[in-house]
């Protein structure tokens, strides 16, 4: 894998990660540690709740989307500084045994106005389950280095 700079990214470029199965143990462990609501860590209580069963925390899916994307190599060896998230939406519950993958599309890129050594890349992220349903979506904003500092 090689490093990628701002100039290497194109609007419309798409990456897709490998698929990963979410286990009950992963959902319970994340829920207990990070989002301690019974729907995320107590299968018995969750069975009697709104979703009629255990579901993953949306924050778990957001964190997982980052892991899957980095593992897929979209940015190569380039260190990316996250600058924010827009339009985060949890659209469908993720249950034990669901398999998900991440699709990222570059939707915008521009040079940083404050530091020409960096460019800003906006990507649309979709987490898709094994039924081809989008379970989470968001716009990610990241900063990547340019090949050469641009003149201001």
Full set of structural domains in the chain with CATH: 6-145 (3.10.129.10)
How far is Cα 121 from Cα 108, in angstroms, rounded to an integer? Answer: 6
Q: What is the pLDDT of residue 149?
A: 58
pLDDT in tens, 25-56: 999 999 999 999 999 999 999 999 999 999 99
Which pLDDT belongs to residue 122? 96
pLDDT digits (tens, 9 = 90+) for 94-147: 999 999 999 999 999 999 999 889 999 999 999 999 999 999 999 999 999 998
DSSP 8-state class, residue 5: -
Distance CA 129, CA 98 (A): 7
Judge whether residue 21 has pLDDT over 70. Answer: yes
The answer to whether the beta carbons of residues 100 and 128 sit under 8 Å apart is yes
What's the pTM value of the predicted model, to 2 decimals? 0.90
**Which runs of consecutive H residues, i.e. helices, occur in 12-147?**
24-34, 38-41, 43-47, 58-72
The yes-or-no verdict on residue 81 having pLDDT over 90 is: no
| E-state strands within the chain | 14-16, 20-21, 81-90, 99-111, 118-129, 134-145
- Looking at residue 148, its pLDDT comes to 73
Mean pLDDT score across all residues of the chain: 92
What residues pair up with 108 in beta bridges, in sequence order? 122
């Amino acid at each position: 894998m090689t490093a990628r700079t701002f100039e290497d990214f194109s609007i419309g470029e798409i990456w897709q990660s490998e698929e990963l199965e979410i286990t009950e143990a992963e959902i319970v462990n994340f829920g207990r540690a990070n989002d301690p609501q019974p729907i995320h860590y107590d299968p018995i209580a969750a069975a009697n709740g709104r979703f009629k069963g255990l579901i993953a925390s949306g924050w778990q899916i957001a964190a997982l989307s980052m892991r899957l994307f980095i593992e897929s190599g979209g940015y190569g060896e380039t260190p990316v500084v996250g600058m924010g998230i827009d339009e985060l939406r949890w659209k469908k519950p993720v249950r034990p045994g669901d398999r998900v993958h991440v699709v990222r599309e570059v939707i915008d890129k521009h040079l940083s106005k404050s530091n020409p050594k960096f460019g800003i890349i906006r990507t649309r992220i979709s987490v898709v389950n094994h039924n081809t349903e989008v379970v989470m979506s968001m716009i990610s904003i990241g900063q990547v280095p340019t090949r050469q500092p641009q003149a201001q």
